[in-house]
Structures are given as C-alpha cells and as structure tokens.
C-alpha cells in the first residue's frame, strides 16, 4: 500500500487511467445504503461524486480517506476496514486524503475520538458492496451461480472448479452490475485484517521527508506572512509604527487588521526579522489583564462564594455530611496548558475575485470554510479547502482562527499567502487547556460506609468543568456535583480529552484518598461502588458498568495488583468519550525521590481495528497524560504568557519515559474510539502510586514542583 500526497479530485480520477469499478457512496446516511457504480470517469466528474472506492483494471484499489490525519492513523484504519470486507490484497491498496467535500462526506473532522465509531459501518458496507459486485461479475463470466463463488486476497474464486479471476480483470464488468442493497457483512471471527498490526500507510513518505504537512505547501509566487498579536490577553492596539519593518529587505507590506499587525514578505526569515522591528503600543481593552496569582484568588473565592450551577444532585447531601463520622475534603488544581503540536499553526490562502483556495492542516475543515465564507461574504461553494497532513493537533486545530486570519490577510493584500505562526506565537497567543480547581468532599458514616460525595469545579473559560453523570455518580446515595465558571480574556479551547484530562486525575486521586481513609483496597473499593451502581443505582447511569468492571479486573490481573514486592502501585480508571481505560502505575524510590517505572494501560475501545495504531494511541496517550501531569504548566503575568517556547515550557522527553504495557479487552462490540480515552486516567495512577511510595498526596499539577522531587 502507499499514500499519495496529491489529493485533488481530478488527480484522483487521473489515477484511474484505464477504466474500472468506481464506487461513489453516499456517506451521509447511517446505512451508507446507496452506493453508485460509475464506469465512465467523465460521467463521474459530471455527477460530482467524490467519495470513492475504486478498483482499477490493474487491480489497484484506491480509497479516499475523508477525515484529517493527525497521527491517529486514520488513513490506515479506514482502509483496513474497507479492505477487510472487500477481501482486498492489502499490498494493492492505495490511500488518498480527500479534500473537504461536505456533499459527499459526513463528519469530516478529527476530534472527540469519533471517526472510527462514526464510519465503522459505512466503511464495511462500502467494502462488502464492492465485493458483492466483483463476485457477481465473475459468476456472470463463468455462467455459474454467485452463491458458489467467494473472494479472497483480491481474487474471486470458484472453489469447485478451481477457477480464479483477479479484481483488476473484473473491474470493468463489475461496474455494470446493479448495486446491491443490504449486503451481508463478515462475522468478526473471519476477520483477517481487522485486529492485526498493520503499519502506517504513510511510513515511507514520512521517513524520506516528503512534503506532507501544511507548512510544506509552497505555491509559485506566494507571499509569506506573520502576524504580531497582542502579547497580553485583554489588551488592544493603541498605536503602530511599522516604518522600520516596512523598510526591511523582502518586505512587501505591513497591514493592520483587527488587533493584528501582519508583516508580508518574500521569505519566512525576512518576515521574521522585520516583525521584530514593529513598534506597537497596546492598551487595556476593558478590564485589567489577569495574572496566575489572580486566578488562585479567583478560584478560592468562587469555590466559597461563587454562583454555582447544580449539575447533579441525588439524595440528601446535607444530612449525609451532618451525620458523618468522618469527612474528607481536598482540592486539586491544574494549570493552563499549551497544545503545542510540533507543526505550528499555518495555512495557505488565496482569495481571488472568483473564489478562494485554502490549503493546510485543520481538524475542522468544514467549520473553517463556513467561517471564511461568512467573513469574506463569499459563498461556500466558491471556497475549496485541501486538507494536508497535520503535524499533531491535540485539539488546537479544532479552532480555525489561523485559517480565517490567512484568508482575511490574503483578501487584504490581494495575493496568495502562507500564514505562519512561530512557536512563540502558538504558545503565547493560541488557546489553552483551561486552568481548573476542584473541591471534593466525602462523608463516611460510623459504620464505615461512603454516604455522601460532593464535587465542585471551577474553571476559567472551561465550558463546563464537571462530568456529572460519570462514575461514581449512580453509586453513592447522596451526591452533589456543581460547577462555577470564570470568564477571562485568556482564550481556551478543547485540549485532548477536554476537561477529563485533569478532572479524571483529581477524581481518581480523591477516590484513592477515600479508599485509604476507609481502609479499603483501591481496586476493590471501585468494584464495590460499581456493584452498588449495578444492583441499586442512584439516579441515571450513563456509563457501562460491565465495561468499567472489565477493564478494572483486567488491569489488576495484568499488573499483578497488590502482589508485587519492591514497587508501589497506584490505580486509576476512567470512562471518557465512549471508551474505558484502567491503569496501574508502578513507582520505585531512587535517591529518595519517586521514579515512575511502568504504567499498565487496559483499554476497552470495542473492536480494535489496527492493533499497531491502537497501541500507539494508548502508549502515546499515557505519555501525554503523564508528561503534562508531571512537567507542564503555562502561567500568566498581566495577561501575557510567561512561557513562550520549549526552553521554558517543559514537555516529556525520552529520558522521562517509563515502560508502558497496553492491553485491550476483546469483547467484540463495535469500535468506540481511542484517540483520547487513554490519557485521562494516567495522572491519577501516577499520583496514587507516588502516594503509596512516599505517603505524599499530590494534588496540584505539575507534580515536578512538589518538594518530593526537589533535591535535598
């Protein structure tokens, strides 16, 4: 298999040089019920079909992959699902990134761990339909009943006679077969590709440095642009002196729009240098710009006196706490984080009188186009958007601010431009994981039962800082979940596993505190709560108890929970998006300091499509969770970020990496997504293991700032 960096529809059609089976599918309805076979490429162009599975006469199978690829390995997984049902020869499968096409594709975005769950049935149906037509074409040619024929590895076979025909040789005839409805799908026991370890289809292009990413896109005659944005959130431009910048070699123009001063020139370096010569004065835009020290005070005040929203209430919480023999109360705080994908924000835009061309890395191409259309007053059908490979996303590229900036700037300077954010631009002017603080309280009665539970969360532009219907809701008689929000000029956004990336740590660490106070084993404590939720649920339960029990038990088994000498283990489990992950972290003490040696991660994401890709998501998610919990924070002084690059903002590096052992629950349910769910449990497993090893509860991130890590 291979990938193709070209990705326009015309280029795709050109790859079918000699005719063949071309299937256009309506991906817009759940059943993908109406595939259309097109033998004539010109007719295909005219009809505007754009969601294709094609089989060329040379047997090459080409698949258009609609969702943006940011390292979740979707191009490989999508193709595997089609190839499985199609009984394709995997070595003849070619994958092409589709451009934005909302008429042909549904949910053409990357986020929410949703691509595979959304497309699972659609892709299987696509493959099965093509297989049906190929078998029928062979049966017709042999004058034999199709029921006697089968397909394997790109061949249709008639076992009784030993006749065989390749898909390539059948492609033209197959195109004239009536497209079937309700084709049967394979039984999972017959899967030969799904669940196996299949290598990333882009490996060769990646290791040879091919131009895959947005920043690698160059167009003859394009200009380069950088924007100076306000350094402090909550400020606006007062005055701009751009004379010195404009006088620099290679600079074409300096333009001011909104709160931006854009430098446009003939090369990245010339623009970089000229931008440093801008003299811009800023003034406060309304209130006073905020600092991290203000946020600490705001958190305390809002937790005590804030106007809280009750998100869930069960039983009589006040009575449970009034009658408690023991009350445990803790607060957990998490800082702002930068997404920092390795490829900084960038986009190419060319606004012409007759339309707009956009090229670059985005997780939400459709929303980016809608916003561009609104801003420029140009209809969406006059705007094309080519999706490049994304050098990471982590949620940052769900926001399309940089796409709209590029389009606006191109419309002002009337030239094709590539807008580039530097690393500093990204870290200081981007969007952040919201800073949050949680106050947890638990009431234990005189018999040692957990009778009351409260969680009050406050977030800065967090949307909603709680997940009120998640475990342990449903397992405790008297429960109160509340949220408070602080509005700030500091812009935030969805950061991989939004909210749960910190909330899971806080909750799982607090449950560990409660288990310890009750003298219970942390694993058994959770299983007891789940047993209660199953036998006698309190209010609505919106998580799957059996699946959560499944990962807990498998984690205990795989990690040898409670049976190991010489290591301290910490446990954590979390349900996020639609999947379940339990983790056990192992810590040892070295020179008086805790060292993370190993993390077991047991995931129930339903059917694993690509074992290689799934392991990558789990291991990468664990390192993402551990790295940020341990090392990362972004602080503000007078509205400006105090860290602006990797010299002051610490990310996990190779020496920090523990062993990670992933396992998957094999329960045969349909896939439920894996891009995010492995991240949330990690902070809790790490903190709980460190508590076991040191007796110290870590409640604030990053952990590295705690005294237990300081050299004495």
Q: Which residues bind another protein (CB under 8 A)?
A: 70-73, 197, 199-200, 202-213, 215-216, 218, 224, 249, 267-270, 273, 340-344, 389-394, 422-424, 612, 616, 619-624, 627, 645-647, 651-655, 657, 659-660
**Residue 512 or residue 624: which is nearer to another protein going by CB?**
624
**Residue 76 or residue 672: which is nearer to another protein going by CB?**
76
8 A C-beta contact, residue 484 and residue 456? yes
Least distance to another protein, CB of residue 422, Å: 6
3-state secondary structure 531-548: HHHHHCCCCCCCCCHHHH
Q: CA nearest 97: which of 80, 74, 113?
A: 74
* Residue 34: C-alpha distances to residues 50, 63, 181, 393 (Å): 14, 17, 7, 33
8 A C-beta contact, residue 682 and residue 628? no
**Residue 78 or residue 440: which is nearer to another protein going by CB?**
78
**Residue 408 or residue 425: which is nearer to another protein going by CB?**
425
Least distance to another protein, CB of residue 612, Å: 5
- Neighbouring residues of 39: CB distance < 8 A, sequence distance ≥ 6: 19, 20, 21, 22, 172, 175, 176
**Residue 70 or residue 115: which is nearer to another protein going by CB?**
70
Least distance to another protein, CB of residue 247, Å: 14
Least distance to another protein, CB of residue 85, Å: 23
Q: Give residue 247's Cα distance to chain centre.
A: 43
Least distance to another protein, CB of residue 711, Å: 19
**Residue 66 or residue 625: which is nearer to another protein going by CB?**
625
**Residue 423 or residue 697: which is nearer to another protein going by CB?**
423
**Residue 344 or residue 522: which is nearer to another protein going by CB?**
344
**Residue 143 or residue 647: which is nearer to another protein going by CB?**
647
* DSSP characters over 197-218: ----TTHHHHHTT-S-BGGG--
* DSSP characters over 65-118: E-SPPSSS-HHHHHHHHHHHHHT--GGGEEEEEPPP-TTT-SS----TT-HHHH
Q: What angle do CA 276, 280, 283 make, to 5 degrees?
A: 140
Least distance to another protein, CB of residue 394, Å: 7
Q: HSE of 368 in the Cβ direction (CA atoms, 13 Å)?
A: 36
Least distance to another protein, CB of residue 71, Å: 3
Least distance to another protein, CB of residue 652, Å: 7
Q: What is the spatial distance between Cα 110 and Cα 684, in angstroms, rounded to a whole number?
A: 27
Least distance to another protein, CB of residue 681, Å: 15
Least distance to another protein, CB of residue 418, Å: 10
Q: What is the spatial distance between Cα 202 and Cα 217, in angstroms, rounded to a whole number?
A: 17
Q: CA nearest 409: which of 605, 600, 649, 229?
A: 229
- Neighbouring residues of 292: CB distance < 8 A, sequence distance ≥ 6: 335, 435, 635, 636, 637, 642
Residue 14 dihedral angles phi and psi, to the nearest 5°: -60, -30
3-state secondary structure 634-667: ECEECCEECCCCCCCCCCCCHHHCCEEEEEECCC
Least distance to another protein, CB of residue 431, Å: 16
Count other Cβ atoms within 10 Å, centred on residue 112.
20
Least distance to another protein, CB of residue 161, Å: 40
8 A C-beta contact, residue 101 and residue 50? yes
Residue 202 dihedral angles phi and psi, to the nearest 5°: -100, 5
Least distance to another protein, CB of residue 249, Å: 7
Count other Cβ atoms within 10 Å, centred on residue 176.
13
Q: CA nearest 417: which of 273, 274, 263, 275?
A: 263
8 A C-beta contact, residue 703 and residue 687? yes
**Residue 42 or residue 207: which is nearer to another protein going by CB?**
207
**Residue 539 or residue 620: which is nearer to another protein going by CB?**
620
**Residue 257 or residue 269: which is nearer to another protein going by CB?**
269
Q: HSE of 488 in the Cβ direction (CA atoms, 13 Å)?
A: 32
Least distance to another protein, CB of residue 195, Å: 16
**Residue 205 or residue 284: which is nearer to another protein going by CB?**
205
**Residue 424 or residue 544: which is nearer to another protein going by CB?**
424
- Phi/psi-derived region of residue 31, left when phi > 0, alpha when psi is between -120 and 50, beta in every other case: alpha
Q: What is the spatial distance between Cα 635 and Cα 336, in angstroms, rounded to a whole number?
A: 7
Count other Cβ atoms within 10 Å, centred on residue 81.
27
């Amino acid at each position: 298999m291979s990938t193709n960096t070209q990705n326009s529809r015309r280029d795709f059609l050109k790859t079918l040089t000699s005719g063949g089976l071309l299937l256009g599918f309506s991906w817009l309805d759940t059943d993908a019920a109406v595939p259309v076979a097109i033998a004539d490429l010109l007719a295909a162009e005219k009809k505007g079909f754009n969601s294709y599975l094609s089989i060329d006469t040379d047997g090459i199978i080409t698949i258009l992959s609609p969702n943006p690829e940011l390292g979740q390995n979707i191009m490989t997984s999508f193709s595997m699902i089609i190839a499985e049902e199609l009984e394709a020869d995997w070595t003849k499968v070619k994958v092409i990134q589709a451009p934005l096409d909302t008429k042909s594709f549904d949910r053409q975005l990357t986020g929410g761990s949703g691509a595979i769950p959304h497309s699972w049935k659609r892709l299987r149906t696509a493959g099965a339909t093509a297989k049906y037509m190929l078998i029928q074409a062979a049966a017709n040619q042999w004058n034999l009943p199709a029921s006697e024929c089968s397909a394997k590895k790109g061949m249709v076979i008639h076992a009784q006679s030993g006749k065989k025909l390749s898909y390539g040789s059948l492609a033209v005839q197959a195109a004239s077969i009536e497209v079937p409805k309700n084709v049967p799908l394979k039984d999972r026991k017959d899967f030969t590709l799904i669940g196996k370890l299949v290598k990333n289809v882009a490996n060769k292009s990646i290791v040879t440095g091919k131009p895959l990413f947005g920043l690698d896109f160059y167009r003859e005659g394009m200009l380069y642009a950088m924007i100076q944005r306000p350094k402090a959130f909550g400020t606006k431009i007062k005055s701009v002196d751009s004379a010195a910048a404009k006088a620099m070699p290679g600079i074409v123009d300096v333009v001011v729009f909104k709160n931006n001063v854009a430098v446009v020139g003939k090369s990245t370096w010339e623009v970089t240098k000229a931008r440093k010569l801008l003299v811009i004065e800023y003034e406060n835009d309304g209130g006073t710009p905020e600092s991290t020290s203000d946020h600490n005070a705001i958190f305390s005040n809002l937790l005590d006196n804030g106007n809280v929203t009750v998100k869930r209430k069960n039983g009589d919480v006040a009575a449970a706490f009034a009658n408690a023999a023991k009350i445990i109360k803790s607060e957990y705080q998490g800082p702002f984080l930068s997404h920092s994908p390795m490829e900084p924000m960038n986009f190419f835009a060319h606004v012409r009188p007759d339309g707009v061309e956009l090229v670059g890395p985005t997780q939400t191409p459709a929303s980016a186009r809608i916003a561009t259309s609104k801003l420029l007053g140009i209809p969406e059908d006059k705007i094309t958007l080519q999706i490049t490979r994304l050098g990471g996303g982590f949620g940052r590229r769900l926001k399309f601010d940089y796409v709209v900036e590029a389009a606006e700037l191109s419309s002002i300077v009337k030239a094709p431009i590539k807008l580039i954010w530097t690393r500093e631009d990204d870290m200081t002017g981007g969007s952040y994981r919201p800073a949050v603080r949680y106050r947890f309280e638990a009431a234990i009665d005189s018999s040692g039962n957990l009778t009351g539970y409260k969680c009050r969360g406050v977030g800065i532009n967090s949307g909603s800082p709680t997940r009120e219907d998640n475990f342990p809701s449903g397992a405790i008689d008297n429960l109160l979940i509340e949220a408070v929000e602080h509005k700030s000029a500091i812009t935030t956004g969805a950061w991989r596993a939004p909210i749960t990336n910190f909330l899971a740590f806080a909750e799982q660490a607090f449950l560990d505190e409660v288990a310890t106070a009750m003298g219970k084993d942390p694993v058994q404590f959770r299983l007891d709560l789940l047993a209660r939720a199953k036998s006698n649920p309190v209010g609505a339960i919106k998580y799957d108890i059996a699946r959560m029990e499944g990962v807990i038990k498998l984690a205990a088994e795989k990690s040898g929970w409670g049976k190991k000498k010489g290591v301290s283990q910490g446990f954590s489990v979390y349900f996020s998006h639609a999947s379940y992950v339990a983790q056990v972290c192992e810590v040892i003490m070295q020179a008086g300091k805790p060292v993370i040696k190993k993390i077991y991660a047991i995931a129930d994401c339903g059917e694993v499509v690509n074992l290689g890709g799934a392991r990558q998501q789990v291991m990468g998610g664990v390192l993402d969770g551990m790295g940020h919990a341990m090392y990362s924070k972004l602080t503000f002084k007078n509205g400006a970020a105090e860290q602006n690059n990797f010299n002051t903002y610490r990310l996990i590096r190779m020496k920090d990496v523990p062993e990670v052992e992933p396992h998957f629950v094999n329960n045969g349910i349909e896939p439920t997504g894996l891009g995010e769910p492995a991240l949330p449990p990690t902070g809790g497993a790490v903190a709980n293991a460190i508590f076991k090893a040191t007796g110290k509860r870590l409640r604030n991130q990053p952990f590295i700032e705690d005294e237990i890590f300081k050299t004495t």
